[in-house]
Structure 1
């Protein structure tokens, strides 16, 4: 079936932000696997980095900081604990404090050169000014939607 330009069904898929964001995420995830290998996922890496920046934070705070729900964060933390990279300490009220183990610190330090390579490969096709603008727009997009989500969540309570 052919759609005319005035037809509301004739939308160019590659002009839709949602599709482009999904494709960009697929590309980023594949590059992550290519460069860092199968031992760590992008979300696990984000959790490890956050624990390095904020050692001893509780699981609920960690979930908020890496933009995951609590149950997903708990599941990933359990997997990282099983690898020996994270220590989960039980706190009152069924909360858990999370810290990197020495092995986790070592693994994370080993990822650093690869993460630099990953970032270079991700942005290599863009000029330096385009790279900066691309990251600026992504940060703005995420920040604006994070604010909107937190406002909507608090108004729903």
Structure 2
């Protein structure tokens, strides 16, 4: 197997560039659907806290694939918006929970999530959507296993 990097690869064919463009499309679709009141990362945090109320910030960071300092910054912002509460635990950890306002924000967003992703993936044929998502999951899983850095926000 040839391991030499291709020399004729255009920018538009480079994996990193394509992943960045796909991310831009996903974020743009997210903002078109939900506005700018909530970022995609804040949405992920709200979803994680809905699934596991009271988890600590370190566990939350792991669940949403962020470093702990970024997670702490996001938690501070969500606390300031009144969407979560942070409860001090032993050893300076914090348990995080959604407030009623946070529950309401998330409940308002959830009905639009599936249609948003359907619209994002619409250009692909149904079998291509399934394969695209399968390959994305595999790509992320294999890179996480190899010790690649998690998303930094």
Structure 2 length as normaliser, TM-score?
A: 0.90
Q: Are residues 1:82 and 2:111 paired?
A: no
Q: Give 1:20's match in structure 2, choosing from 18, 21, 25.
A: 18
Aligned twin of 1:143: 141
Determine the C-alpha separation between the residues in 2 that align with 1:116 and 1:106. 18
Aligned twin of 1:129: 127
Q: Deviations over 1:64-120 (max 9, x none)?
A: 111101110000001111111101001111110001111111110100122122111
The higher-RCO structure (CA 8 Å, 6+ apart) is 2
Determine the C-alpha separation between the residues in 2 that align with 1:143 and 1:9. 28
Q: How many residues align?
A: 144
Determine the C-alpha separation between the residues in 2 that align with 1:79 and 1:117. 27
Please report the RMSD computed on the Cα atoms of aligned residues, expressed in angstroms. Answer: 1.4
Determine the C-alpha separation between the residues in 1 that align with 2:81 and 2:122. 33
Q: Deviations over 1:106-154 (max 9, x none)?
A: 110100122122111110111111111110000000000111117xx9x
Structure 1 length as normaliser, TM-score?
A: 0.87
Aligned twin of 1:3: none
Secondary structure of the structure 1 residue equivalent to 2:146: helix
Determine the C-alpha separation between the residues in 1 that align with 2:89 and 2:129. 43
Asked if the contact 1:50–1:62 (Cα under 8 Å) also holds between the matched residues in 2, the reply is: yes
Secondary structure of the structure 2 residue equivalent to 1:149: coil
Determine the C-alpha separation between the residues in 2 that align with 1:61 and 1:77. 13
Secondary structure of the structure 2 residue equivalent to 1:88: strand
Aligned twin of 2:3: none
Unmatched segments (≥5 aa) in structure 1:
1-7
* Structure 1 stretches of 4+ moved >6 Å: none
Structure with the greater alpha carbon radius of gyration: 1
Shift of 1:10: 3.4
Determine the C-alpha separation between the residues in 1 that align with 2:114 and 2:63. 22
